[in-house]
Amino acid sequence: MILKEGNIGAFMKIHLTGATGFVGQALQAQLYLSSHNPFATVRAKQSDLTSNSNSLAVGDISATTKWGNALHGIDAVVHLAARVHVMYDNAIDPLAEFRSVNTDGTLNLARQAAASGVRRFIYLSSIKVNGEATNHDCPFTPNDLAAPRDPYGISKHEAEVGLRAIARTTGMQVVIIRPTLVYGAGAKGNFKSLMKLVARGLPLPLASIDNRRSLVGIDNLVDFIITCLEHPAAANETFLVSDGEDLSTPDLIRRMAHAMDRPARLLPVPKSVLMAAAAMLGKRNMAQRLCGSLQVDISKARALLGWNPPVSVDEGLRRAVK
Question: What domains are there in the chain, each with its CATH number?
Answer: 13-184+215-245+295-314 (3.40.50.720), 189-211+247-291 (no CATH)
CA distance 222 to 244: 15
Q: Catalytic site residue 152?
A: yes
Q: pTM for this structure?
A: 0.92
How would residue 177 be classed by pLDDT, with cut points 50, 70 and 90?
very high
284 confidence band (pLDDT: 50, 70, 90): confident
Q: What are phi and psi of 259, to 5 degrees?
A: -65, -30
pLDDT band at 101 (very low <50, low <70, confident <90, very high): very high
Question: In degrees, to the nearest 5, what angle opens at C-alpha 199 toward C-alphas 193 and 205?
Answer: 70
- Mean pLDDT, the chain, rounded, equals 90
Q: Which residue has the higher pLDDT, 49 or 161?
A: 161
- Segment 119-161, tens digit of pLDDT: 999 999 999 999 999 987 799 999 999 999 999 999 999 999 9
Q: Is the pLDDT of residue 45 over 60?
A: no
Q: How many CB atoms are closer than 10 A to CB 301?
A: 26
The pLDDT value given to residue 269:
94
Span of 125-134, 190-199, 231-240 with lowest mean pLDDT = 190-199
Q: What per-residue confidence (pLDDT) applies to 108?
A: 98
Predicted local distance difference test score (pLDDT) of residue 5: 41
Q: What is the band of 88 on the pLDDT scale with cuts at 50, 70, 90?
A: low
What confidence score (pLDDT) does residue 248 get?
96
- 141-151: pLDDT as tens digits: 999 999 999 99
Res. 52: pLDDT tops 60: no
> How much is the pLDDT for 6?
42
Examine the pLDDT at 8 and tell me if it is beyond 70.
Answer: no
The answer on pLDDT for 9 being more than 60 is no
What does R_g of the chain's alpha carbons equal in angstroms?
Answer: 20
Instruction: Say which range, 8-12, 60-64, 225-229, has the weakest mean pLDDT.
Output: 8-12
State residue 227's pLDDT score. 96
The one-character DSSP state at 212 is: -
- Dihedrals phi, psi of 6, to nearest 5 degrees: 170, 145
| Strand pairing category for 238-241 and 181-183 | unpaired
- Answer yes or no: is pLDDT of 56 > 80: no
Q: Which one from 32, 88, 123, 152 is the annotated catalytic residue? A: 152
- pLDDT reported for residue 7: 47
Helix (H/G/I), strand (E/B), else coil: 155: helix
